[in-house]
A and B are shown apart, each in its own frame.
Chain A
């Protein structure tokens, strides 16, 4: 029987653990709402190699797939929420079909639509990690910062295909809204992708 975990990280703790473990050559694409806000709040060194979605729910994973197909020598970390993943769940199948090991998918699994007030995003018997594994993607689960860091540093580099990490998180205080112009986010990320290859 499916069992929801009781050990969960605060969202910002999970993001900090990811960012501390990932190297400077890895780009990050983050989902709308609090995930992007928390990532943006970590400062300019992160911002220059990140693409912050502030809409287009469910687009992080296919967008990241497109980037990694274009720049196969660059790693991209896709940060997505469980609610927005389910809006575009078929994208996991496309990742299985076309994705490479340079695409790492991280799902923040809190079971709610946190940015809109905490409505449930899943039935209680649903296990996101089983869903991803059922698609055929190598899927791990993290409950602690150490497990997150270990996945980034040790597990992901050894994967032959695009791996998934499901981080069990709980509701958290949001960071401020992102003040950047959207076109500025595009041009900065695009420039980083170009510069970092030469």
Chain B
């Protein structure tokens, strides 16, 4: 992700009052992880499904986590989203970072193409952090309790 997009993403998280980052890391977002790590609020989990449960626990206890994953992790997360987060009405947003259908890695190209079908079914809202108003847009989505949000890398 370009540096100006990363800085807008950080502003977006601040405007949405996100206080925990739960993540299986994707490349290009070290600046985001670092900022939350410096506050002791970045949790690197071993699997996206686990990240859903950690985020749900934080949210039930009154915190405002964001679960961040690469599009290839969406499949790993679904059962916990459906049977814990959705079923128990525990809200936290999930930001899916899509490597895209033009990624140099052939597996990621297929993953992006297939996952986009799933994201459409989940009524995912896309956001573009190259846009200057993206921090406000993101904050509005979180305030509206939109769970699935997708951006490009």
Q: Do A and B bind each other?
A: yes
Interface set of A (CB-CB < 8 Å, partner B): 51, 53-71, 88, 90-91, 93-94, 97-98, 182-183, 185-186, 189-190, 193-194
Interface set of B (CB-CB < 8 Å, partner A): 20, 43-47, 49-63, 65, 79-80, 82-84, 87-90
Q: Of A57, A61, A63, A90, which is in contact with the most chain B CB atoms at under 10 Å from its CB?
A: A63
Of B62, B83, B89, the contact of A186 (CB 8 Å cutoff): B89
A55 with B63: in contact, given A63-B54, A66-B53, A91-B50 (CB under 8 Å)? Answer: no
Interchain Cβ contacts within 8 Å, total number = 108
A61→B80 CA distance, assembly (Å): 13
* CB-based contact A69/B46 at 8 Å: no
Of B44, B46, B83, B89, the contact of A56 (CB 8 Å cutoff): B83
Contacts of A183 in B (CB 8 A): 88-89
Contacts of B65 in A (CB 8 A): 66
Q: Quote the shortest CB–CB distance from A183 to chain B (angstroms).
A: 4
* CB-based contact A94/B50 at 8 Å: yes
Q: Quote the shortest CB–CB distance from B102 to chain A (angstroms).
A: 31
Contacts of A88 in B (CB 8 A): 47, 49-50, 53
Q: Quote the shortest CB–CB distance from B85 to chain A (angstroms).
A: 8
Of A55, A71, A98, the contact of B83 (CB 8 Å cutoff): A55
* CB-based contact A66/B54 at 8 Å: yes
Q: Quote the shortest CB–CB distance from A182 to chain B (angstroms).
A: 5
A193→B88 CA distance, assembly (Å): 16
Q: Quote the shortest CB–CB distance from A66 to chain B (angstroms).
A: 2
* CB-based contact B63/A70 at 8 Å: yes
A72→B44 CA distance, assembly (Å): 19
A90 with B80: in contact, given A66-B57, A70-B58 (CB under 8 Å)? Answer: no
Residue in A closest to B49 when the chains form the complex, CB atoms: A88
A81→B80 CA distance, assembly (Å): 17
* CB-based contact B61/A62 at 8 Å: no
Q: Quote the shortest CB–CB distance from B37 to chain A (angstroms).
A: 12
* CB-based contact B43/A67 at 8 Å: no
Contacts of A59 in B (CB 8 A): 49-50, 52-53, 56, 80, 84
* CB-based contact B49/A55 at 8 Å: no
Contacts of B54 in A (CB 8 A): 62-63, 65-66, 69, 94
* CB-based contact B88/A182 at 8 Å: yes
Contacts of B55 in A (CB 8 A): 66
Residue in A closest to B47 when the chains form the complex, CB atoms: A90
A56-B84, A69-B43 are known contacts; what are 10 more A-B pairs with Cβ within 8 Å? A58-B53, A59-B53, A59-B56, A64-B57, A65-B57, A67-B57, A67-B60, A69-B58, A186-B89, A186-B90
Question: 10 pairs across A/B with beta carbons < 8 Å?
Answer: A58-B53, A59-B84, A61-B53, A66-B55, A66-B56, A66-B63, A70-B62, A71-B61, A88-B49, A189-B60
A186→B49 CA distance, assembly (Å): 19
Contacts of B88 in A (CB 8 A): 182-183, 185-186
Contacts of B82 in A (CB 8 A): 55
Contacts of A185 in B (CB 8 A): 88
A53→B87 CA distance, assembly (Å): 10
Contacts of A190 in B (CB 8 A): 60-62
